[in-house]
Structure 1
């Protein structure tokens, strides 16, 4: 009795091919001279293998996404620390042996503190109600008070 992931030679050879489109696969399977039960059993085994490979790839993707997010956050923390140190020292530009560092202001981020406090003129409804950050940003930038929102400075260090 074969184990769960053992295919006979014809199916093993077929599973190793990367050039199969659906029609070629059907034609090749039709050409294999096996009884229906054996053919379907081998295809079920192949499907089990593919499912296991897909699950493995999905787990790897999740791991890589988590790692990317962690590194993006770490980069943001480091750059924020550098910006804070330079701001505290009143330094706008600094030349090190390896880098030119300079602080600069980027476009401020619009932060919604409480959606329920936003005036209706700043909320658009597509399929769900959500704040129109562009309108809120423009109003806040122009000096208007928008209850439930504020601008958050977006200051960072540029590394060259």
Structure 2
């Protein structure tokens, strides 16, 4: 019987409970029968909870690996940028504008002009854009509603979560 999924066991449990209530059996008989039926559900729930804990552990390991990989990627990107600047500055100092090999060609190229803003306040308003950011402070809305205040356009919702300790 242990190969039944948890949702089927739960459905069977509810069907047994409904049938027993419909038959108007004594409370003691109903409790004994449901206790026996709940054993399989509890065992299946323990197995599912164990898998959840295992996956949470793996998630932590993956998250740690991601941090290490991100740090490694950033280190490599920084090294590449440093080496580019190193090569460029040495080519500029020596006046060499091109180095060729069978695999690649290295050239010192001029970049397109870019705007550098020395003093943003001195820039004419025609070049400025006004940005307004409006956001709702959800935590303050929640606190006010918990204190009994009615906030139009908002309501409190209580969800449920699973705790495995």
What RMSD in Å do the two structures reach over aligned CA positions?
Answer: 3.1
Matches of 1:52 and 1:112, distance apart in 2: 49
Shift of 1:31: 5.1
Unaligned runs of 5+ in 1: 1-8, 11-26, 129-160
CA distance change for structure 1 residues 120 and 97 in 2, over 3 Å: closer, same or farther? same
User: Based on CA coordinates, which of the two structures has the bigger radius of gyration?
Assistant: 2
- Contact map agreement 2:6 2:41 (CA 8 A) in 1: no
- Contact map agreement 2:100 2:106 (CA 8 A) in 1: yes
Greater strand percent: which structure? 1
Matches of 1:51 and 1:114, distance apart in 2: 51
Matches of 1:73 and 1:39, distance apart in 2: 50
Are 2:50 and 1:73 equivalent residues in the alignment?
A: no
**Which of 60, 63, 83 is matched with 1:58 structurally?**
63
CA distance change for structure 1 residues 72 and 55 in 2, over 3 Å: closer, same or farther? same
Matches of 2:90 and 2:62, distance apart in 1: 42
**Which of 44, 48, 55 is matched with 2:49 structurally?**
44
Matches of 2:56 and 2:47, distance apart in 1: 14
CA distance change for structure 1 residues 51 and 105 in 2, over 3 Å: closer, same or farther? same
Greater helix percent: which structure? 2
Shift of 1:30: 3.5
Counterpart of 1:5 in structure 2 is none
Q: Which has the higher relative contact order, 1 or 2, with Cα contacts under 8 A spaced 6 or more apart? A: 1
1:7-156 to structure 2, matched below 5 A, reads 28-30=5-7, 35-96=40-101, 99-108=104-113, 120-128=125-133
SS in 1 for 2:99: strand
Unaligned runs of 5+ in 2: 10-36, 134-165
Residue correspondences, number: 104
Shift of 1:127: 4.1
SS in 2 for 1:104: coil
Q: Which runs of 4+ in 1 moved over 6 A?
A: none
Shift of 1:44: 1.1
